[in-house]
């Protein structure tokens, strides 16, 4: 993984000092809360319902064991002993004290981490495929490019006061595990007819109150031009994006207003004036960054057929876990493992300091000391020897990290909602907990098969409900919490937005509604159909009828 050089170290150290000064000016009263607000937001510090929340950047989700241990230390030292992994591969601490934040950031800097640009109207932490480097279908490791973009976007003097926040995601594979279609800019590594590696560029995707699947504006961008092209897109957006209405300020609104063709023409014209200029990436820099993502020292192992090995496993609990939480790896004899942060009845994405320490040890023992955070609020050990899977499974189980539900109904994405967030209409965590309790039977979960439930506490859609196979959105109805349900959304390479089934459900009724939807699917599916397959075949109608039959 990437390691800081002297420049990276110096920048982060200076940024910590700068923020220490800003906090000092706030504490002395030199800055009012109103003046301090944009400064703290530039550094990921929010004021929530009950306390300050600090969002820490985990660039493209990659963590070393040493970094995870530091996060455990921070959880103990500055918070209540746990942290929360978000849907953008970041980590949030929900109970920090303002006066202690500079020290916390200094501790983070010691392990090459920071909280820069995890909020504010700037280019946010760049996300990537959590199976980068190990997926068999990959053209190139997306983290190389995500790291290059991370550096370029850090403290960018021109683009730190954009009309609105700006999110970039990169995938190195045709299969999209990074949900690039719902990002302000989505980047896919591609190969052109001549065999050269470059990028296809998509703009204007997003969630929030106006969900949009992005539009491709370039089929092939030579890789040396990546940053010039991004700069062209950002400049057009910075100058022309709306600033009069918070809800119309994202780039998707601009692209829609001027039309994709006109937007593309403006970007291309801007690019033409800076193409080949100072920001063109030297091959030497690409090579320097790429070297950090070279494969680890894999052992030569015999090929094992993962599926049959799992079938033959004697312990059915292990087999169940292996079926959902173990994924193929491009190197013979290895596998990637999802570490579920979704225990039934728990808070999706939460992890205690003890679990962080335990997983850091396991990463060192089993997976070259590296951990990945996914946008689905789980963690991944990407390089595990298949023969070691049973040992790893037992050790994960001892730490409460072996729930066999990756990709299944209880692997719920869920925003913090009204338990923490001052924008929320409704609580989202208790809904996910109750769904987890209701569907606690593993055999049944496995029978239902792949099904993504995503829950947001308000229209800002931090829980990605628009792209949930079942999406649940907290709304307010007659002063009470209520939940609108949508079906058929998807965030992958066949991205689609969910359709709303009808009137909203009360907090009590929404878990039953999920039950009804599942029963309808199970009763309608043909042999191998997943929930999404069935939904795409039969449409909304049967679900709607079942849900509202009694009314």
| Cβ at position 86, least distance to ligand SF4 in Å | 9
User: Residue 460, interface with ligand SF4 (CB under 6 A)?
Assistant: yes
User: Residue 461, interface with ligand SF4 (CB under 6 A)?
Assistant: yes
| Strand ranges inside 204-315, DSSP E | 215-222
Which residue of 66, 73, 80, 160 would you call a contact of other proteins, by CB under 8 A?
A: 160
| Cβ at position 93, least distance to ligand SF4 in Å | 15
- Only segment of 119-127, 234-242, 452-460, 523-531 that touches ligand SF4 (CB under 6 A): 452-460
CA distance 123 to 135: 27
CA distance 342 to 339: 9
Q: Are 90 and 45 in contact (CB under 8 A)?
A: no
User: Residue 232, interface with other proteins (CB under 8 A)?
Assistant: no
Count CB neighbours of 97 within 10 A.
12
| Cβ at position 11, least distance to other proteins in Å | 4
User: Residue 151, interface with other proteins (CB under 8 A)?
Assistant: yes
| Cβ at position 229, least distance to other proteins in Å | 14
> Strand 480-487 and strand 499-500: pairing?
antiparallel
Tally the residues of the chain.
551
CA distance 151 to 149: 5
- Give Cα 156 distance to the centre of its chain: 23
User: Residue 272, interface with other proteins (CB under 8 A)?
Assistant: no
Which residue of 458, 467, 472, 482 would you call a contact of ligand SF4, by CB under 6 A?
A: 458
Which residue of 172, 416, 449, 489 would you call a contact of ligand SF4, by CB under 6 A?
A: 416
Which residue of 91, 187, 415, 431 would you call a contact of ligand SF4, by CB under 6 A?
A: 415
Query: SS3 for 7?
Result: helix
Residues 6+ apart with CB under 8 A from 211: 182, 461, 466, 467, 497
| Cβ at position 209, least distance to other proteins in Å | 20
Query: SS3 for 358?
Result: helix
Q: Are 484 and 508 in contact (CB under 8 A)?
A: no
User: Residue 456, interface with ligand SF4 (CB under 6 A)?
Assistant: yes
- Only segment of 69-77, 157-165, 306-314, 332-340 that touches other proteins (CB under 8 A): 157-165
**What does the block give as tokens for 238?**
């910075």
Q: What is the dihedral of CA 169, 173, 174, 176, to 10 degrees?
A: -40
| Cβ at position 102, least distance to other proteins in Å | 14
Of residues 423-442, those binding ligand SF4 (CB under 6 A): 423-424
458 contact, one of ligand SF4, other proteins, none, CB 5-8 Å limit per kind: ligand SF4
- Exposure string of 400-437, with b = 16+ CB inside 10 Å and e = fewer, is bbbbbbbbbbbbbbbbbbbbbbeebbbbbbbbbbbbbe
User: Residue 530, interface with other proteins (CB under 8 A)?
Assistant: no
238 contact, one of other proteins, ligand SF4, none, CB 5-8 Å limit per kind: other proteins
Nearest Cα neighbor of 373 from 359, 361, 386, 384 is 359
Q: Are 412 and 455 in contact (CB under 8 A)?
A: yes
Residues in contact with ligand SF4 by the rule CB under 6 A: 415-417, 421, 423-424, 456-458, 460-463
Residues in contact with other proteins by the rule CB under 8 A: 5, 7-8, 10-11, 14-15, 17-18, 21-22, 35, 38-39, 121, 151-163, 227, 235, 238-239, 243, 273, 278-279, 281-282, 284-285, 288
């Amino acid at each position: 993984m990437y390691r800081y050089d002297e420049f990276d170290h110096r920048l982060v150290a200076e940024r910590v000092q700068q923020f220490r000064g800003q906090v000092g000016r706030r504490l002395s009263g030199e800055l009012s809360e109103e003046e301090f607000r944009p400064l703290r937001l530039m550094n990921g510090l929010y004021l929530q319902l009950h306390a300050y929340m600090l969002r820490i950047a985990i660039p493209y989700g990659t963590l070393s064991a040493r970094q995870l241990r530091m996060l455990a230390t921070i959880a103990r030292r500055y918070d209540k002993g746990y942290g929360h992994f978000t849907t953008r591969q970041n980590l949030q601490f929900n109970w920090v004290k303002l006066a202690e934040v500079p020290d916390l950031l200094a501790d983070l800097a010691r392990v090459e981490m920071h909280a820069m640009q995890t909020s504010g109207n700037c280019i946010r932490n760049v996300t990537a495929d959590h199976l980068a480097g190990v997926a068999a279908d990959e053209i190139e490791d997306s983290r190389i490019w995500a790291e290059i973009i991370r550096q370029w976007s850090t403290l960018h003097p021109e683009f730190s006061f954009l009309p609105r926040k700006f999110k970039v995601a990169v995938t190195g594979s045709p299969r999209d595990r990074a949900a690039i279609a719902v990002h302000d800019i989505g980047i896919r590594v591609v190969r052109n007819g001549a065999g050269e590696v470059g990028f296809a560029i998509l703009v204007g995707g997003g969630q929030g109150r106006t969900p949009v699947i992005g539009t491709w504006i370039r089929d092939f961008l030579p890789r040396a031009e990546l940053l010039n092209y991004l700069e062209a897109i950002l400049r057009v957006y910075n100058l022309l994006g709306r600033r009069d209405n918070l809800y119309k300020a994202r780039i998707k609104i601009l692209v829609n207003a001027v039309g994709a063709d006109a937007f593309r023409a403006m970007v291309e014209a801007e690019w033409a004036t800076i193409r080949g200029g100072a920001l063109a990436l030297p091959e030497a820099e690409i090579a320097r960054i790429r070297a950090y993502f070279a494969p680890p020292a894999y052992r030569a192992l015999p090929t094992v057929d993962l599926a049959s090995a799992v079938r033959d496993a004697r312990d059915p609990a292990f087999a169940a876990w292996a079926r959902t939480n173990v994924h193929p790896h491009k190197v013979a004899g290895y596998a990637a493992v999802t570490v579920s942060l979704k225990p039934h009845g728990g808070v999706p994405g939460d992890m205690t300091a003890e679990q962080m320490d335990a997983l850091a040890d396991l990463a060192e023992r089993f997976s070259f000391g590296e951990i990945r955070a996914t946008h689905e609020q789980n963690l991944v050990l990407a390089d595990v020897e298949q023969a070691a899977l049973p040992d790893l499974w037992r050790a994960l189980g001892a730490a409460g990290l072996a729930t066999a539900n990756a990709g299944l109904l209880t692997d719920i994405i869920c925003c913090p909602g009204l338990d923490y967030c001052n924008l929320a209409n409704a609580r989202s965590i208790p809904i996910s907990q109750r769904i987890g309790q209701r569907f606690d039977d593993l055999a049944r979960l496995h029978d239902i098969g792949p099904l993504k439930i995503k829950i947001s506490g308000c229209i800002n859609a931090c829980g990605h409900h628009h792209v949930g196979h079942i999406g649940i959105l907290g709304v307010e109805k007659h002063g009470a919490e209520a939940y609108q349900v949508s079906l058929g959304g998807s965030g992958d390479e066949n991205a689609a937005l969910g359709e709303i089934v009808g009137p909203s459900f009360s907090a009590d009724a929404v878990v039953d509604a999920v039950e009804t939807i599942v029963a309808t699917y199970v009763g309608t599916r043909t042999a191998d159909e997943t929930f999404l397959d069935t939904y795409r075949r039969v449409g909304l109608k049967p679900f709607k009828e079942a849900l509202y039959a009694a009314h």
